[in-house]
Amino acid sequence: MTLSLILDVRMTGHRLPRQLHALQRLARSRPEPFELLVADDTGDARLPRLAERYGARLLTCEGTPLGDRLNAAVARSQGDILMFPAPDARLTLDWLAQVTERIERQQDDAAVFTSRPLGRLTRLRRRLQGHLPAETLCIARTWFERIGGFDPALDQEALPNLLERLRACQARIDRSSA
């Protein structure tokens, strides 16, 4: 099964070069095929060279909310498994292999990796303060399509909203933390 790693330039910000480097190394360690996609609505002239350097496909999007940009990237991806890494994610090959295997075998429908264990109150405070999601989401494309993808009107809340809808549909979600 193909894995699509999808980053958003605006959400990743200044961490983009470091994140692309780490994800490229991680994905190259996998024997299965992968694709690395970068959704961009900034028009930064440096991005085509950066994407090429790390073997990523740069997808130009309109200046719309995050949910809409990520939906556009998914529509242009080929993966059976979709991953949306958190800006500060420090993913391991073991975690990636375990999660993709469980999704391929249909033991899980999605997985969430939290870089740091966060309590309920901390997560709520982060949302209220408008901080970026601290979670990496990995989901089977079939489930992504079944629930209609991200809400295109949502920006910072797009990922948490998708997780809430997955829970409401009783999807099997594995949670792990660093």
- pLDDT, tens digit (0-9, with 9 covering 90-100), for 22-32: 888 887 787 88
Kindly state the percentage of the chain with pLDDT values over 90.
52
- In this prediction, residue 90 carries a pLDDT of 77
- In this prediction, residue 30 carries a pLDDT of 79
Indicate if the pLDDT at residue 71 is higher than 80. Answer: yes
Indicate if the pLDDT at residue 15 is higher than 60. Answer: yes
- In this prediction, residue 23 carries a pLDDT of 86
Q: Cα(32)–Cα(36) distance, rounded to whole angstroms?
A: 13
- The pTM for the full model equals 0.86
Q: Which band of pLDDT confidence, cut at 50, 70 and 90, is reported for residue 132?
A: very low
- In this prediction, residue 123 carries a pLDDT of 61
Q: Cα(8)–Cα(44) distance, rounded to whole angstroms?
A: 13
Q: 172 in the Ramachandran plot: left (φ > 0), alpha (ψ -120 to 50) or beta?
A: beta
> What CATH code would you report for 6-177?
3.90.550.10
Higher-pLDDT residue of 127 and 139 is: 139
- In this prediction, residue 55 carries a pLDDT of 92
How far from the centroid of its chain's Cα atoms is residue 88's Cα? Answer: 12
Worst-scoring range by mean pLDDT, 37-41, 94-98, 159-163?
Answer: 94-98
- In this prediction, residue 98 carries a pLDDT of 86
Higher-pLDDT residue of 99 and 150 is: 150
Q: 84 in the Ramachandran plot: left (φ > 0), alpha (ψ -120 to 50) or beta?
A: beta
